[in-house]
Homo-oligomer: A and B are copies of this chain.
Amino acid sequence: MKTARLSVNAGEVRRQFPFFQPHPEMRSVIYLDNAATTQKPYTVIEAVSNFWAHHNATVHRGGHGVGAKASELYEAARTRVAQFLNAREPNEIVFTRGTTEAINLVATAWGEAFVQAGDEIIVTELEHHANLLPWMRLAEKQQATLKVWRITDDGRLNLDDLRELLTERTRLVAVSHISNVLGGVNPVAEICHLAHAAGALCLVDAAQSIAHMRVDVQRIECDFLMFSGHKAYGPTGIGALYAKREHLEAMPPYHVGGGMVQTVRWERVRWAEPPMKFEAGTPPIGEAIGLHAALDFIDSIGREAIESYEHELTQYALRRLQETPGVRLYGPVPDRTGIFAFTLEDIHPHDIATVLDTRDIAVRAGLHCAHPLSERLGGPTVRASLALYNDTDHIDALIEALHHTRQVFGYAG
Contacts and interface: CB of A to CB of B under 8 A. Distances in A.
A45 interface: yes
Given A264-B129, A371-B264, A356 B64 contact: yes
B31 A66 contact: yes
Interface of A: 18-19, 23, 26, 29, 31, 33, 36-37, 39-40, 44-45, 48-49, 52-54, 56-58, 61-67, 97-101, 103-104, 128-130, 132-134, 136-137, 148, 228, 230, 235-238, 255-259, 261, 263-266, 269, 280-287, 350, 353, 356-357, 360-366, 369, 371-372, 375
Contact of A256 (B26, B104, B357): B104
A364 B61 contact: yes
B256 A63 contact: no
B280 A63 contact: no
Instruction: Name the residue among A128, A266, A366 with the largest chain B CB count within 10 angstroms.
Output: A266
- 9 smallest CB-CB distances across A and B, nearest first, come from A100-B281, A237-B284, A237-B237, A258-B369, A18-B53, A64-B362, A133-B256, A130-B257, A100-B257
Can you tell how many copies of this chain the complex includes?
2
B261 A133 contact: yes
Contact of A33 (B63, B282, B362): B63
A67 B369 CA distance: 16
A285 B236 contact: yes
Contacts of A136: 256, 269
Given A18-B54, A36-B57, A129-B256, 9 more contacts: A18-B53, A45-B49, A62-B350, A64-B362, A97-B284, A98-B282, A134-B257, A237-B237, A261-B371
Contacts of A364: 61-64, 67
Contacts of A37: 56-58, 282
B19 A53 contact: yes
Nearest to A42: B53
Nearest to A350: B62
Instruction: Name the residue among A237, A255, A269 with the largest chain B CB count within 10 angstroms.
Output: A237
Contact of A366 (B62, B66, B264, B287): B62
Contact of A264 (B26, B237, B361, B372): B372
14 contacts: A18-B54, A19-B53, A36-B61, A45-B49, A63-B357, A63-B362, A64-B356, A66-B362, A97-B281, A98-B282, A133-B257, A134-B257, A236-B282, A265-B372
B45 A52 contact: yes
Contacts of A129: 256-258, 261, 264
Contacts of A61: 36, 364, 366
A66 to B, nearest CB: 5
A134 B283 CA distance: 17
A284 B283 CA distance: 12
Contact of A40 (B52, B360, B366): B52
B266 A372 contact: yes
A142 B36 CA distance: 39
B362 A67 contact: yes
A339 to B, nearest CB: 14
A286 B63 contact: no
Contacts of A230: 58, 282
A181 to B, nearest CB: 12
A238 B53 CA distance: 17
Nearest to A53: B18
A369 B39 CA distance: 37
